Structure 1
């Protein structure tokens, strides 16, 4: 999603960095307090500029009993999207030394008594996009207990040695130590506790302090194990890194060079998330891997686990296919993801891997899907979050009729692998192989892909392998802060780089693509998504960054070519026909070598098309043509809009040419929408693959930088945007949809739009022309197409320079408009924004001409190679959705007669019948 210029790169770096949670340090003065004491909360380690703000706000909650697990929000919070909306906005005071403070009294601040614990975090005024710190919860009450030693949750002690336990209380208390639930020591009426316990086996401790003369108690838990002794055993044959599940038997394999030992912990053992040498993994030093097999797991059960590295860092599996999050899962509803297990709060921290035993394999319903040829690709890029209010795979599946009617044959989903938070574009990945639960279940995703394939639509995933956030296990296992999220990878890290060779494009933690470990990792990820979810290919984000070569990525880089070529070869070994699309934006000489290896590249024509739609100069969009790059194959996925560009309609209305106002004003909404049709005529007709950004076919008019409160700020680039299905009620907008539908149908059904004999005359700011020739055309196939348009704001005349004299047909006309050409250079007058798509053969038949005078059934529907009618008919005509005749049958056909259509492209068609009852039509889907 990155761009050419330094300015925009820096901006995007800012946008991406704002999407991460910042870890803060909270201090409270006094550290022990009652609910009616005044306290000062001071926060350090937060840089508000990372979130694009200058002020910080407190978001607070409390618990009303020691056993309470549900929190109660402070009445002073305001809204998550606007903290300043509170009656008493809780803005922190900037102390000028990198710290921020707020003074409050809990009973007054929370408007409650009986407060047991208070919780807090610090956030930007709008906390979306994870512009917040981690949670911080503290106990309320003068009586406080502090465990001074051991400082680690788990201590490693040689068998027979002592563990020293020390603790202090703020008031006189009675102390009792429990080891594996058995009382082993009691000390009374003290404030400082010390005891040595001899370790001979794994022990779970609880130290309980009771305030003297009362029943008030506080406790701390910790554990110790004897120093692990590894067993050297090779990883069993056929086992991959991660989880290898066979019924109720599971083998776990972790790649962990330079590590001494690894434990498994989870909900499967009696100690319930406590470290236990029973679950010490075997070591295979030759392969730098640790592994363990668990047999007789409960069937049809949710299994949760983490690896514990050297008894200090708990991480989820790097190859998790689903994870549980202590921060995000509470915001995922039961409709989107039913029966989501609860996070094991209080038993562990950080992401947890989740799998289920006994799950049946998904049975694919569409097994003969044929992917569209590259030159035929019409891709619809969408962000599930902003496409439907239900933000799920099921919701998008329910919209497939709309997309199929439009005529697209591929859907490109913005990243759906696990990312930090829930509200995101997805370019902040944490677990590259896990499905993000905010969009739905694995089964729902498979059903979505299956249904797309049934409709002739390919599914392409946008994936992000340039970097990962601090949650990524491989990053946490080798960094300079012992597994925190915000440190720096160390030299031992086999996946992530210590320093990014390209600081201009520095996003999160940079992956080392020259490392053999990374090659194995990336290949495994690609294989998984292709085979598990049956997807059809990838759009690889920011492949310019797949290199260790110093610089800004703008120069020719043979290393980068080698890395991508190797990756492409590995993908094609799994699926020879998978699409491999690169967001590269490197020198043309480099992209030429990559497309010669069978890869595709993104082609951004947004600026020049938008200049054209606004009615200005500098609107030469010839880069949409692969021929201008010296290529012989249509390997550029061209687009007028993508997720990364300002929306055409927003700029049309805000900045369009109004110099001829009020005669012709581009900023007028209706006029601006009409100009989208004009642009489409000069876009879809250019041979080669194309892409539409969601709702572009309806003239989506909200800025890419729109904030949720309606303002437009660069900091809101990735914020949720309005979802406007109500556009379907606006004729000026559905006119764009109808025009795009016709243009896409032309592109896909007329072979002239695959020709390599075409020219673009589009350098003029006003008059533009495209001409195509298919010298191989025979019979009634279209041999010539001439497209003319007026992108100016005044009436013009244009020399069409038709390829021949005779009758020419307006291919988009609903009234079969024709012109007779006797002079190929006779000028044609065009009003501002007017355009014509002329062909030398007639194709158009408006769908409005169909008469629904009778009803019938066409079955099966969807069909594969043939269909039948449940009536006697004399004529059956099959039209594309825009009314182009695809096949005709005439005769006396009895009910149930098979009509063969196997040679037609997959998609949506209109079937028209004629019999003694009249004429009727129905829709038919061809798989």
Structure 2
């Protein structure tokens, strides 16, 4: 049967600027009290970005969106100049006062800034086709189709088609540049959808989603999430919670693929939300990215290497990391005893001293002899995985596994570890398991708090978890999927990179419960201990808690009182002999009484960390 086209005739003329209507389409799982669209609109005024005060937007702020039943969406219009770039986000209030809130990128616009803020980007063009959307009901069927169409010239008509069947022409709406058609009965998400706009005698394809054919087939049992190089074949598997379809775009290195070239992954009918495929390609290096139904593109959450936002692999010996075939030289290496470990914490870029954003794994490798010469037998690397800044301490990650591209490749990281081991130096890795950035695949795979098992609203806390996410997305450590993900990443660093141990950052904000040992901090520390009991596990748990260390598989924690009493002495503050003996020597924390660490290896004695000034700086600048 031929496609049936419906033509809607309009005339839409505006002034030099465009009056652009932003929309938010409520999902069946949403539970917000109100929604806002703050940003650089209106630019330079007191009302831009909400306005907000330290991230809090008033309930009656002018950026609040109002529900329009004619378009089945919340709307807010701004007058924008053609040729400008606007940055914005969606802001939710989850209670009436607005004290419980969250900022997220626009789920209808996949274009975001590649920085810590992950703001949505709108390039104002004329004409402008903005926020195409298929409205889904609670059964996952399409019950509406909408698109923003804005122009300053003569607007003639719209033609749209859905699949190859007749569509009703009685229920459409167009106002303030928003086109909406209600579909009754609802249509399948897998049908083709196309919208064409006729403006000033010219035809524009404003939206074109081809039909999708999903094949159900169980994935092979030996395939885990992420890329898999097994017996000369590359398999890819991804857990995509509540995604109706997942596609993949594979290109030559550095190329940008078209959505029309995307391949639909197979759906595993025996596992919930698992998608997979086998790549039958000639030997060589390739980039790939996943494509979601809303147009979002994302790298693999378990990628080892990301280049320009895409996962890089090798069909060949290099495999999933492009360095699977690395030839390790330090085969006789023995990990230093924890009793004798002298740890040097460092930041790759700063320690390399090559200029901001210029330091690499190779630069650190060139300084290993110096570290060895001063008696260091362990280096603790501040986070080495991807974030959105050229220079960052790394505690704002967008990925927990893929290495920061500016630092180097998986091959170069393995070579650094190998060379450290040849000198008897252990390598510990700082892991940030409290939070993740919005531009990372763990959030983008399902940008809905109610559907994404990895992420929760940061104001919601689990047992023994304190409230903080530093503006990032807060990981839900009491969801089994999060635990599974953490376990896989930790084991990859141990097995593939031969990492000697970890420092788990911000332990107070992770949570644990001895009645639920399969969840939270207890879950992955015990799993890691069972996997390899020699792997060193330390935690930044401040204020420190010796009892927790004594009753878990965590080896040690930072001895905070040792640092504090040392700092007191530098400042010539009075510290009693009893406090020195009890808190510095006898392993008490904060008080000379109570339960101390039960063994000296449980307390990492430190005088400086990345959060503190050096002792020399304290003496010179603060103590005269």
* Range into which the TM-score falls when normalised by the shorter chain: 0.5 to 0.7
Counterparts in 2 of 1:218 and 1:225: CA distance versus 1, 3 Å: closer
**Is the partner of 2:456 in helix, strand or coil?**
coil
SS in 2 for 1:319: coil
Secondary structure in 1 aligned to 2:154? strand
Offset, 1:401: 2.3
- Residue 624 (str. 1) matches residue 581 (str. 2): no
1:454 maps to which residue?
A: 422
**Residue 119 of structure 1 contacts residue 135 of structure 1 at CA under 8 Å; is this kept in 2?**
yes
State yes or no: 1:647 paired with 2:606: no
2:224 to 237, 240, 248: 240
Quote how far apart the aligned CAs of 1:643 are.
1.0
Hey, what does 1:748 align to over in structure 2?
Answer: none
Q: Which residue of 1 aligns with 2:276?
A: 292
Are the aligned partners of 1:383 and 1:425 in contact in 2 as well (CA < 8 Å)?
yes
CA positional deviation for 1:517:
1.8
Please tell me whether residue 509 in structure 1 is matched to residue 470 in structure 2: no
Take 2:551 and 2:180, find their aligned partners in 1: how far apart are those partners? Answer: 70
Q: List aligned pairs for 1:861-900, cutoff 5 A.
A: none
> What is the aligned partner in structure 1 of residue 556 from structure 2?
600
Deviation at 1:598, TM superposition (A): 6.0
Q: Is 1:274 aligned to 2:259, yes or no?
A: yes
1:615 aligns with 2:572: yes
**3-state DSSP class of the match of 2:218?**
coil
Runs (5+) with no aligned partner, structure 2? 1-35, 65-78, 89-112, 162-176, 182-186, 589-595
Question: What residue number does 2:548 align with?
Answer: 590
Q: What secondary structure is seen at the aligned counterpart in 1 of 2:222?
A: coil
Q: How does 1:829-848 map to 2 (within 5 A)?
A: none
Distance 1:200 1:477 in 2: 18
1: distance between equivalents of 2:428 and 2:364?
A: 14
- Residue 521 (structure 1) shift: 1.1
| Distance in 2 (alpha carbons) for counterparts of 1:518 and 1:460 | 22
Whose Rg is larger? 1
TM-score, length-scaled by structure 2 = 0.67
Query: 1:465 and 1:356, CA in 2 relative to 1: closer, same or farther beyond 3 A?
Result: same
Counterpart of 1:171? Answer: 153
The match for 1:831 is none
Shift of 1:572: 3.3
* TM, length-normalised to structure 1: 0.47
Deviation of 1:321 after TM superposition, in Å, equals 1.8
Match of 1:44 among 38, 49, 52: 49
3-state SS of paired residue (2:484): helix
1:469 to 437, 442, 461: 437
C-alpha RMSD of the superposition: 4.6
Instruction: Give the match for residue 571 of structure 1.
Output: 528
CA distance in structure 1 between the aligned counterparts of 2:474 and 2:246, rounded to whole angstroms: 25
User: What is the rounded CA distance, in whole Å, between the counterparts of 1:208 and 1:448 in structure 2?
Assistant: 56
Alignment of 1:345-494 (within 5 A): 351-358=309-316, 359=318, 361-387=325-351, 388=353, 389=355, 390-480=358-448, 489-490=449-450, 492-494=451-453
Match of 1:500 among 432, 441, 461: 461
1:525 match: secondary structure = helix
Q: Relative to 1, partners in 2 of residues 1:264 and 1:402: Cα closer, same or farther, differing over 3 Å? A: same
Matches within 5 A, 1:73-152: 117-119=83-85, 130=116, 133-139=119-125, 144-147=126-129, 151=133
Describe the SS at the equivalent of 2:236. strand
| Residues 248 and 370 of structure 1, relative CA distance in 2, 3 Å threshold | closer
Report deviation, 1:590: 2.3
Pairwise CA distance, 1:117: 3.6
For 1:322, which of 265, 289, 305 is the aligned residue? 305
> Is 1:532 matched with 2:496?
yes
Q: Is the 8 A contact 2:466 2:510 kept in 1?
A: no
* Contact 1:546–1:560, Cα closer than 8 Å, also in 2: no
Q: 1:23 to 1:378 in 2, by over 3 A?
A: farther
Asked whether the 8 Å contact 1:500–1:506 carries over to 2, the reply is: no
Alpha-carbon distance change, 199 to 304 in structure 1, aligned in 2, over 3 angstroms:
same
Give the 3 Å change call, closer, same or farther, for CA 512–590 of structure 1 in structure 2: same
Q: Write the distance in 2 (CA, Å) between the matches of 1:434 and 1:651.
A: 36
Give the corresponding residue for 1:303: 287
CA contact (8 A) 1:547 1:559 kept: no
Q: Deviating runs (4+, > 6 A) in structure 1?
A: 39-42, 161-166, 173-179, 192-196, 198-206, 268-271
Change (3 A) 1:220 1:562: closer
Pairwise CA distance, 1:567: 2.4
Query: CA offset at residue 153 of structure 1?
Result: 12
**2:179 matches 1:224:** no
Cα deviation, residue 374, structure 1: 0.7
In structure 1, how many angstroms separate the alpha carbons of the residues matched to 2:215 and 2:345?
50
Deviates more, 1:315-324 or 1:437-446: 315-324
CA positional deviation for 1:234: 1.6
For structure 1, the residue ranges without an aligned partner over 5 or more in a row are 1-21, 30-38, 52-94, 107-115, 180-191, 325-342, 344-350, 481-488, 550-556, 657-666, 668-927
1:200, CA displacement in angstroms?
13
Distance 1:258 1:419, change over 3 A: same
Deviation of 1:284 (Å): 2.2
Q: Using the alignment, how far apart are the partners of 1:459 and 1:421 within structure 2?
A: 24
The 1-side partners of 2:607 and 2:469 are apart by: 27
Secondary structure class of the residue paired with 2:345: strand
* Higher RCO (CA 8 Å, separation ≥ 6 residues): 2
* In 1: Cα distance, 2:205 partner to 2:376 partner: 60
Other structure's SS at 1:423 match: coil
Question: Residue 566 and residue 292 in structure 1: after superposition, are their counterparts in 2 closer, same or farther (change >3 A)?
Answer: closer
1:792: which partner in 2?
Answer: none
3-state SS of the aligned residue for 2:386?
Answer: strand
C-alpha contact (below 8 Å) 2:529/2:535 kept by paired residues: yes
Give the distance between the partners of 1:195 and 1:654, measured in 2 at CA.
64
- Aligned partners of 2:244, 2:231: CA distance in 1, in Å? 30
Q: 1:545 aligns with which of 500, 506, 509?
A: 509
Match for residue 235 of structure 2? 251
String of CA shifts for 1:88-114, please: whole Å, max 9, x gaps. Answer: xxxxxxx99679xxxx999xxxxxxxx
Deviation at 1:132, TM superposition (A): 8.5
Measure how far apart 1:630 and its partner are.
Answer: 5.3
C-alpha separation between the residues in 1 aligned to 2:424 and 2:443? Answer: 40
Structure 1 residues 612 and 221, CA gap change in structure 2 (3 angstroms): same
Provide the C-alpha distance between the structure 1 equivalents of 2:393 and 2:311, rounded to a whole number of angstroms.
23
Q: Distance in 2 between matches of 1:153 and 1:421?
A: 35
**1:691 maps to which residue?**
none
Is the Cα contact below 8 Å between 1:626 and 1:635 reproduced in 2? no
Deviation at 1:539, TM superposition (A): 0.8
SS at match of 1:577: coil
User: C-alpha separation between the residues in 1 aligned to 2:131 and 2:602?
Assistant: 63
Shift of 1:523: 1.1
Name the CA distance, whole Å, in 2 between partners of 1:547 and 1:434.
25
